[in-house]
Chain A
Amino acid sequence: MSTKEKHRLVVCPAEEMQEGSRQLIEVNGVEIGLIRAEGVCYAFRNSCPHQGVPMLYGSVVGTMLPSDPHQYIYGNHNEIIRCPLHGWEFNLKTGKAMFSPDLSIKMYEVKEEGGEIVLYLDRAPEQVTRKEFSCILSS
């Protein structure tokens, strides 16, 4: 589905989404978390597929790439969000879990347009609530 066929939802002014900041919005009863890392905005369903804890409390990190035995190769710098409970790693660019391509968190299309942070959703946003969110990881 192209962007034009999706439903546009303005989340907040872009100045509220500085590097490292986090925002929480509920759309049709589903929480969506937004973060900005390395200048890029990401939006994802705020629930880990494992035990359901809010992903927005997750650390944004790089990780060790698949390697030969006893070799550490760092990569994906600030492209990984770790579940705050068990540490499951999800790639923010794809939503896929690092340990299995068959598991992912739902990612939403998010853009910065005219000084605003905009979500593009598959379903019409009928009930929208901006939620207060703060955590120690927010900048």
Chain B
Amino acid sequence: MVAQSKRTGGLIDCDIHPVLSDFNELVPYLDESIQQYMNIGKFAKGALAKQNSGSFKFPSSPYANPLPVPLRADAFPPNGDIPGSDPAFLAQDLLDRCNTTYGILNIGHGTMAAFHNVEVAAKYTSAANDWLYDKWIKSDPRYRMTMEITPLDPATAVKEIERIGKRPEIVGINMHCVNIPLGKRHYWPIYEIAEAYNLPIVLHPDSEGTGEYAATAGVGPASTYMEWHTSLGLIGQRNVISLVADGVFEQFPNLKVNFIEYGFSWIAPTMWRMDKNWKALRHEVPWLKMLPSEYIRRNIRFGTQPIEEPARPKDLIEIIQMIDAEHMLLFCSDYPHWDGDELDRAFLHFPQELKDKIFYQNPLESFRF
């Protein structure tokens, strides 16, 4: 465990990952049809265990993290279970140590967004939401959560938001990226209710490369985990462009979209290039009434982790300042993942005023608190 944070002032950690110890934890929340589909509960088969009984396979990335321990090795709970599986231990190991005001839970087993069987994905998603609420939210008053939805099926997503979206502990909608750009009208029923409920849309890598409807990563498959991980920002960039160009923020001016874990230093060239193209090609998107960068500044927010680390740390601060992004960044630890950030070290060179915004004020304003 690293040292206790000496920081004063509020802290909202916008990206903490709780995980299931076992899919059987979902049994109380799933009807028999899906239990049978997933081979869990009373439908578990003993045979062919190494092949998962030869049928259902939870969608996971083919890009395996090559590190010896692909999660924080200091985050294993005392019972030896998976890091992120014990609510009490996580509260002690992360929230107590960092003096966290609120910790936003983005489920680590929510990666059914790009799964080919949307009916299964939808029921799984509801079960995961209920499990997260019962096991985690009720265990500590500092926990908040984003709710999962099925981006491939907006009508079902809207029903799920209607079902639980008014719970005060739910502070955002974790939608995930699939192979339909985020600006398309396909999603607009989701955006409509998100805006009405004052819930931001949250995008977090999970479905990239894990399902048949996964977003493509630029020109083609990466060769390594390192290459795949670095390329995630391209998907974020592409979707920022889509959201703005398709007029989502003209239609839903109060909608917030929080890109978590896609990086943020690329915002500057994205803004510059979009603004330049809009000046020339405005007639193709006549619904845009102001510079694309102004929509980005008004409606889109970015998680800080994994923070970019230029050779001169202050270069990163200059990028933030040159595009007026001080209000756009949200602190994320990504605990217990391997690429998380320690707030006392990752922001060492940041001015105090900027840290105050990133740690507390910006998350407070961009999630539903």
Contacts and interface: CB of A to CB of B under 8 A. Distances in A.
Interface of A: 50, 63-73, 86-89, 97-99
B283 interface: yes
Contact of A69 (B246, B278, B282): B246
A73 B279 contact: no
Interface of B: 185, 246-248, 250-251, 278-284, 286-287, 289
A88 B279 contact: yes
Contacts of A88: 279-280
B284 A64 contact: yes
A98 B279 CA distance: 8
Contact of B280 (A64, A73, A87): A87
B279 A99 contact: yes
A89 B287 contact: no
A69 B288 CA distance: 8
B205 to A, nearest CB: 28
Contact of A87 (B185, B247, B250, B281): B281
A48 B287 CA distance: 25
Nearest to B277: A86
B30 to A, nearest CB: 38
Contacts of B284: 64
Contact of B287 (A50, A70, A86, A97): A70
Nearest to B278: A99
11 contacts: A63-B283, A64-B283, A65-B286, A66-B286, A69-B246, A69-B251, A86-B279, A86-B280, A87-B281, A99-B278, A99-B282
Nearest to B286: A64
Nearest to A71: B287
Contacts of B286: 63-67, 71-73
A88 B282 CA distance: 9
A106 B166 CA distance: 55
B287 A67 contact: yes
A67 to B, nearest CB: 5
Contacts of B287: 66-71
Nearest to B251: A69
A68 B250 contact: yes
A66 B282 CA distance: 9
A100 B278 CA distance: 11
Given A68-B287, A69-B287, A70-B185, A98 B250 contact: no
A133 to B, nearest CB: 24
B279 A69 contact: no
B140 to A, nearest CB: 42
B289 A66 contact: yes
Which of A64, A68, A86, A99 gathers most chain B CB within 10 Å?
A: A99
A49 to B, nearest CB: 11
A89 B251 contact: no
